[in-house]
Amino acid sequence: MTNKRKALITGINGQDGSYLAEFLLSKNYIVYGIERRTSSINRTNIKHIEDKITLLTGDLTDQNSLLRCLKEADPDEVYNLAAQSFVKASFEMPIQTTDVTGTGVLRMLEAILEHNPKIKFYQASTSEMFGKVQETPQTETTPFYPRSPYGVAKLYGHWIVKNYRESYNMFAISGILFNHESERRGHEFVTRKITDGVAKIHLGLQDKMYLGNLDAKRDWGYAPDYVEAMWMMLQKDIPEDYVIATGKTHSIGEFLDAAFQCVGITDWSGYVGQDERYMRPAEVDLLLGDSSKAYKDLGWKSKTSFNEMVSKMVKNDIKLLSKT
């Protein structure tokens, strides 16, 4: 018999899932991950820990598969990090985004209710739910106004978690995480697109990169700092939702400043163009989070500065591209 706690992570192959798996292993957890069965599975982010975790096949669009995974893992904690999480794509695939990112949360809650309602559940909510912001900075009580099918789907997930917490007395909570990036961020995200582009320009592999809105402002933190907050929320006696953010905002232009400075370029205007294809139909102009409740209740605060994070990402992309 083992007394080790068990955790089940959806989206384990993604940025957050892989860092969370590492963190939970360091806390002596037995870690299970759910991955979708596809013709080509990308395990790049978990390759170094694959022998320390157990991977199960499941899908947020298939409730029976979720129930089977719960029975197999029998976890103490479930972290729902899987989603169709690319905002621009949600305008092109609104129904799929809603099915996975919104209704998928309900399917997991229903499966937990059937298997073991005492399981602690973490839902990855997002600052995109604030959208057209109603106040600045945004806190746990700021009204929501999502501006994309992704934001709307996440808002459904957020509210259904709250509803099940209050209706069935479940320990089910949402972390409203503001933008958080890292070396493991997918290439379709603007931050990784920038650091990859800077690395390619630096190495002479590319002349120019094309982006959308350069004026959008985001509160960017470092993903490994943020997964610790997820775990902290589930260790509390009382289930509550928390905003997780740095409390500082930067424009895409400032991200470009920081990234190009890593390779000694101060004027990047000749290396960056704008392309209408990368513009969102409805833009979110400014996101800035206030995580003082998380600091007060959990003792959590962001450890890695904006410039440190950007530097880590650029250096990593240079290293990866130098190998090819």
Q: Is 126 among the catalytic positions?
A: yes
Spell out the residues 6+ positions from residue 206 whose beta carbon is closer than 8 angstroms to its own. Answer: 197, 200
Tell me which of 22, 35, 77, 128 is the catalytic residue: 128
Q: Are 17 and 33 in contact (CB under 8 A)?
A: yes
| 140 CB-contact burial (10 Å; exposed 0-12 / middle 13-18 / buried 19+) | middle
The H or E element containing residue 259 is helix 252-261
User: Strands (DSSP E) along the chain, which ranges?
Assistant: 6-10, 30-35, 54-57, 77-80, 120-126, 172-177, 180-181, 209-211, 217-218, 221-222, 242-244, 250-251, 272-274
Tell me which of 98, 126, 142, 249 is the catalytic residue: 126
Tell me which of 32, 150, 156, 164 is the catalytic residue: 150
Spell out the residues 6+ positions from residue 149 whose beta carbon is closer than 8 angstroms to its own. Answer: 90, 91, 93, 94, 97, 98
Spell out the residues 6+ positions from residue 186 whose beta carbon is closer than 8 angstroms to its own. Answer: 14, 15, 86, 192
Q: Is 128 among the catalytic positions?
A: yes
Active site residues per annotation: 126, 128, 150
